[in-house]
């Protein structure tokens, strides 16, 4: 919380009392380092979406391959986040952060050099490994660097704003780079950004206390968690190409169900030593915030994936123009995410969560008017409301989950929230891509209905959480 101004110890009379509480100052440079990594990781979720025509012509990628270029990254990212959180708690978040930056930079270079679609997907998998090390460590280092609650809320707001800005900027940055320098340049961009983040980290972020490792890491649980997400993503990605009732799709879903059952069984047996301790979910704010994280990314990233296709394939926009068409969404994200941190610092996280989810519900519903010849101005309410909604809610949901978690499990807690988010991204891109496989506009409308319904249900959940909090 904010602290009062101190009174001088010298002089003939004491200084008058401060007129109001002063906000705890933010130390900028640790936040700069963490935001650089966050920007790079989240940018790569969306930066490739406008590169799909170039990938199709340059590498001969088909529809399923293109979805895996997007989803392969987020699937491995989500599947290994729990490993990243657990390793950070045991071996040090700063060490994991620096290692993750190195892995991500190397994998990005491999993406840029990929000679074929399969090689690109494999390199995107490797990027997901680096991202899974980076993001839990980032949030844990953020919490440790800003112990004051109000300062931490503002820092999380900025950190979340960078993430939302990166997500919305991805199509813009990707469009400009693809048209100017080719699709490989979107991956080369990560190398200098990672180098800058390493340099600032080494000078301005110290190590964080870690808990002692008293048991072996839960490798069976980790493997089953990854298998669950891979099976689910495979089934959803392939359904649009080979049909929902095909043997590969049903096999993927069967693997996901069996692996999920095994994951829960292992977690129950290992208790607090599991890769995902199920006891955390007995805390209602924790479990509800994690569920909201799934909904946020499922709607936002899933629809963003479709919108880049809609503007390019239906409206005939170039890659750059398609990115610029999404600019109002990005602009709203830049403003609303820091606003979330400021509101949360005064009122707690639940008010900005409710407001953000309500805006998102309206925004997604507005996409029902989108058609082949809809005037662009008629799409602005959808772009603006979606741009306000998710960035306003995301930092607040992050704060609510971190406050509900035990202090010695910060890495695992941040990993849980990011697993929920990236699982939402994986499912959203795969599901919405499948819905739009036959007819893009009809699929966009179906996806908008799904997203609006989920956001409406999450709004009710946030209202109930606010009453409890």
Which pLDDT score is estimated for 141? 81
CA-to-CA distance for 155 and 459, rounded, in angstroms?
24
CB contact at 8 A, 72 and 120? no
CA-to-CA distance for 299 and 310, rounded, in angstroms?
16
CA-to-CA distance for 331 and 125, rounded, in angstroms?
30
Backbone phi, psi, residue 3, to 5°: -115, 150
Which pLDDT score is estimated for 124? 92
Residue 54 token pair: 């170039």
Distances from the Cα of 131 to the Cαs of 42, 52, 63, 101, 177, in angstroms? 9, 22, 25, 8, 22
CB contact at 8 A, 300 and 447? no
CA-to-CA distance for 154 and 148, rounded, in angstroms?
10
Secondary-structure breakdown of the chain: helix, strand, coil percentages, each rounded to the nearest 5 = 80, 0, 20
Q: Is 87 exposed, middle or buried (0-12, 13-18, 19+ CB in 10 A)?
A: buried
CA-to-CA distance for 140 and 210, rounded, in angstroms?
11
Which pLDDT score is estimated for 13? 42
CA-to-CA distance for 17 and 12, rounded, in angstroms?
15
Which pLDDT score is estimated for 144? 75
Distances from the Cα of 6 to the Cαs of 3, 26, 278, in angstroms? 9, 18, 45
- Residue positions counted in the chain: 469
DSSP bridge pairs for 3: 22
Which pLDDT score is estimated for 224? 86
Distances from the Cα of 379 to the Cαs of 257, 315, 439, in angstroms? 39, 13, 19
Which pLDDT score is estimated for 22? 46
Closest CA to 326 of 309, 307, 298, 300: 307
What is the crossing angle of helices 284-309 and 410-435, to 10°? 40
CA-to-CA distance for 409 and 260, rounded, in angstroms?
23
Which pLDDT score is estimated for 181? 86
Residue 242 token pair: 């080979």
DSSP bridge pairs for 298: none
User: Half-sphere exposure of 288 toward its Cβ, with a 13 Å CA cutoff?
Assistant: 24
Q: Using 70 as the pLDDT threshold, list the residues of the chain that sit under it.
A: 1-27, 61-64, 85-86, 89, 147-149, 152, 157, 160-161, 164, 168, 206-217, 240-241, 272, 337-338, 341, 406-412, 414-415, 466-469
Helix (H, G, I), strand (E, B) or coil at 348: coil
Eight-state DSSP code of residue 118? H
Tens digits of residue pLDDT in 94-104: 888 898 999 99
CB atoms within 10 A of CB 302: 24
Q: pTM for the full model?
A: 0.70
Residue 162 token pair: 């960078």
Which pLDDT score is estimated for 32? 84
What is the crossing angle of helices 190-204 and 28-46, to 10°? 160
Distances from the Cα of 360 to the Cαs of 57, 70, 268, 436, in angstroms? 35, 23, 36, 21
**Any residues with CB less than 8 A from the CB of 27 and at least 6 apart, and which?**
145, 146, 204
Give how far the C-alpha of residue 235 lies from the chain's centroid of Cα atoms, to the nearest Å: 22
């Amino acid at each position: 919380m904010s602290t009062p101004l101190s009174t001088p110890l010298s002089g003939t009379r004491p200084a008058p009392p401060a007129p109001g509480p002063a906000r705890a100052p933010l130390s900028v440079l640790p936040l700069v380092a963490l935001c650089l990594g966050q920007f790079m990781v989240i940018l790569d979720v969306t930066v490739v979406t406008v590169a799909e025509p170039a990938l199709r012509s340059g590498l001969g990628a088909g529809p399923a391959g293109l979805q895996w270029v997007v989803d392969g990254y987020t699937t491995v990212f989500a599947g290994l986040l729990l490993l990243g959180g657990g390793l950070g708690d045991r071996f040090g978040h700063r060490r994991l952060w620096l290692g993750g930056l190195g892995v991500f930079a190397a994998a990005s270079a491999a993406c840029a050099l990929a000679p074929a679609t399969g090689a690109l997907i494999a390199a995107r998998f490797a990027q997901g490994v680096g991202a899974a090390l980076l993001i839990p460590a980032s949030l844990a280092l953020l919490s440790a660097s800003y112990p004051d609650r109000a300062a931490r809320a503002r820092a999380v707001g900025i950190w979340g704003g960078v993430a939302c800005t990166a997500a919305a900027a991805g199509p813009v940055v990707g469009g400009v780079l693809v048209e100017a320098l080719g699709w490989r340049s979107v991956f080369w961009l990560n190398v200098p950004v990672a180098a800058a983040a390493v340099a600032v980290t080494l000078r301005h972020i110290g190590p964080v206390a870690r808990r002692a490792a008293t048991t072996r890491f839960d490798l069976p649980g980790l493997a089953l968690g990854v298998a669950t997400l891979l099976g689910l993503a495979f089934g959803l990605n392939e359904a649009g190409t080979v049909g929902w009732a095909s043997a590969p799709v049903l096999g993927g879903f069967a693997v996901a169900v069996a692996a999920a059952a095994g994951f829960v069984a292992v977690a129950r047996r290992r208790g607090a030593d599991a890769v995902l301790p199920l006891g955390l979910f007995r805390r209602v704010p924790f479990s509800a915030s994690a569920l909201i994280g799934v909904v946020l990314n499922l709607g936002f990233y899933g629809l963003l994936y479709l919108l880049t296709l809609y503007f390019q394939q239906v409206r005939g926009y170039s890659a750059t123009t398609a990115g610029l068409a999404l600019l109002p969404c990005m602009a709203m994200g830049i403003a609303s995410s820091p606003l979330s941190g400021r509101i949360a610092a005064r009122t707690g996280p639940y008010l900005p969560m409710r407001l953000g989810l309500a805006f998102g519900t309206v925004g997604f519903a507005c996409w029902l008017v989108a058609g082949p010849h809809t005037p662009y101005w008629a799409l602005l309410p959808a772009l603006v409301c979606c741009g306000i909604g998710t960035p306003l809610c995301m930092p607040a949901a992050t704060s609510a989950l971190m406050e509900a978690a035990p202090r010695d499990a910060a890495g695992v807690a941040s990993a849980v929230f990011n697993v929920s988010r990236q699982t939402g991204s994986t499912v959203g891109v795969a599901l919405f891509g499948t819905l739009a496989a036959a007819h893009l506009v009809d699929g966009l409308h179906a996806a908008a209905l799904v997203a609006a319904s989920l956001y409406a249900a999450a709004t009710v959940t946030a209202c109930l959480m606010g009453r409890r909090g």
